[in-house]
Amino acid sequence: MIIFDDVHKSFGAHEVLKGISAEIAKGQVVCLIGPSGSGKSTLLRCVNGLETYQRGHISVDGTVVDAASSQVHAICTRVSMVFQRFNLFPHRTSLENVMEGPLYVLKEDRKQVRERALALLNRVGLADKTNAYPASLSGGQQQRVAIARALAMRPQAILFDEPTSALDPEMVGEVLQVMRALADENMTMLVVTHEIQFAREVSDNVLFLDGGRIVEQGPAKELLRHPKHERTKDFLHRVMHPV
């Protein structure tokens, strides 16, 4: 479904991704973990063309992602993204946020889009917030609207960039729950996260990224319980025992 083949990416002289190869099968949930600055966001953003990369290939369902080509918009309609800081459109209500893409990008029928958007908001537990503006919602609610917005595009895969790190602790659960439900419905998901427990319980595979390289990858339960590399052990220890 999503294939990384020796992907290299630099910002100027600073090489951030140093040959990433990995594969995410349809219906899989893959968590991307690693220390700050290791290139997790950058890798994710290359998948839907928010960043360009210089060498190698990323392909989504057989289509090569090339941010410079006009094709990249087509990729975005098939791969949605959920951001750390939600990035909801502040001048539109929850419902309008969710309807925006299908209505104006996919140019679908307004009535059907509206019905689907209402159903999606209901699914993320926000049926009573359809006419609320983002500023009047809590972080957890905003992120759930953002997930509904991503789903409204009927994507083949969803990218999550630290979807819970900007949230107050008591709101992390409600967002993870929605993501877990998506995973259960076999949505293909690539998730950057520091929620190790979520990774262990929900994801199929885990990629550990450090310094622009995949240091270790494998089935979530195995990698997170019995990491092979020193750096992975170190990182996991630090994440799970912060003090």
Partner 1 sequence: MTKFIAQATEYLPLLLHGVWLTVVITFVALCLATALGLVWALFRTSGIRSLAVPTRLFIDFVRGVPLLVILFYIYFVAPDIGINLTALQAGMIGLGLAHSCYLGETFRAGIDAVDRGQVEAAKSIGMKRPLMMRRVVLPQALKIILPPYANNMVMLLKDSSLVSVISVQELTMQGKMLASSTFDNMTVFTLVALLYLCLTVPLNILMRRVEIYLGAGR
Ligand X SMILES: Nc1ncnc2c1ncn2[C@@H]1O[C@H](COP(=O)(O)OP(=O)(O)OP(=O)(O)O)[C@@H](O)[C@H]1O
74 binds partner 1 (CB under 8 A): yes
For CA atoms 179, 4, 27, 119, give the dihedral sign. Answer: positive
Which residue, 163, 161, 180, 164, is CA-closest to 172?
164
Which residue, 34 or 140, has its beta carbon nearer to Mg ion? 34
Cα separation, 214 vs 23, whole angstroms: 12
Q: Which does 197 bind (CB under 5 to 8 A by kind): Mg ion, ligand X, partner 1, none?
A: none
Which residue, 16 or 88, has its beta carbon nearer to ligand X? 16
Which residue, 119 or 239, has its beta carbon nearer to Mg ion? 239
> Considering only residues 13, 36, 169, 230, which one is a binding residue for ligand X as defined by CB under 6 A?
36
48 binds ligand X (CB under 6 A): no
Indicate the helix (H) or strand (E) that contains 206: strand 205-210
Structural tokens at position 208: 């550990």
42 binds ligand X (CB under 6 A): yes
Which residue, 13 or 135, has its beta carbon nearer to partner 1? 135
Asked if 176 and 124 touch (Cβ cutoff 8 Å), the reply is no
Indicate the burial class of 108 (C-beta count within 10 angstroms; 0-12, 13-18, 19 or more). Answer: middle
136 binds partner 1 (CB under 8 A): yes
The span of 21-29, 53-61, 83-91, 121-129 binding partner 1 (CB under 8 A) equals 83-91
Phi, psi of 90 (to 5 degrees): -70, -20
- Binding site residues, partner 1, CB under 8 A: 48-50, 73-74, 76-77, 80-81, 83, 85, 87-91, 100-101, 104-106, 133, 135-136, 149-150, 153
